[in-house]
Amino acid sequence: MSVEELARQTGAPVEAVAASLARSRQVLFERRARRPRPHLDDKIVTAWNGLAISAFARGAGVLGDPYLDCALRAAAYVREKLWRGGRLLRCERETPGAKAEPRPPTEGFADDYAFLIQGLLDLYEAGGGHEWLSWAAELQTAQDRVFLDPDRGGYFSTSGADPSILLRGKESYDGAEPSPNSVAALNAFRLGRMLDSTELIGRAQTTVEAFSSQLVRSPTAMPIMLSALLFGTSPPRQIILAGRLDVPEGHPLDLKPFLRNIHDRFQWDAVLLFADGGPGQEWLGRSLAFIRSVAPVNGRAAAYLCDGFACQAPVTTVS
Tell whether the model's pLDDT for residue 102 goes beyond 80.
Answer: no
Work out the pLDDT band at 100, boundaries 50, 70, 90: low
- CA angle centred on 203, ends 201 and 205, rounded to 5°: 70
Average pLDDT over residues 153-177: 91
| pLDDT of res. 101 | 56
Return the number of other C-beta atoms located less than 10 Å from residue 195's C-beta: 19
Average pLDDT, the chain: 93
Instruction: Write down how long the chain is.
Output: 319
Q: In the chain, which ranges are E strands? A: 44-45, 83-84, 87-88, 91-92, 237-242, 270-275, 302-307, 310-311
Q: How many helices (H) and strands (E) does the chain have?
A: 12, 8
| pLDDT of res. 99 | 60
Average pLDDT over residues 42-54: 96
pLDDT tens digits, 15-33: 999 999 999 999 999 999 9
How many Cα atoms occupy the beta-carbon half-sphere of 194 within 13 Å?
Answer: 24
End-to-end CA gap in the chain: 45
Work out the pLDDT band at 97, boundaries 50, 70, 90: low
Work out the pLDDT band at 241, boundaries 50, 70, 90: very high
Question: Side chain identity at 68, as an amino acid letter?
Answer: L
Question: Side chain identity at 158, as an amino acid letter?
Answer: T
Short-list 44, 181, 50, 180, CA closest to 123:
50
Tell whether the model's pLDDT for residue 95 goes beyond 80.
Answer: no
Tell whether the model's pLDDT for residue 294 goes beyond 80.
Answer: yes
Asked if 228 and 208 touch (Cβ cutoff 8 Å), the reply is yes
Under DSSP, the state recorded for 269 is T
Average pLDDT over residues 255-282: 93
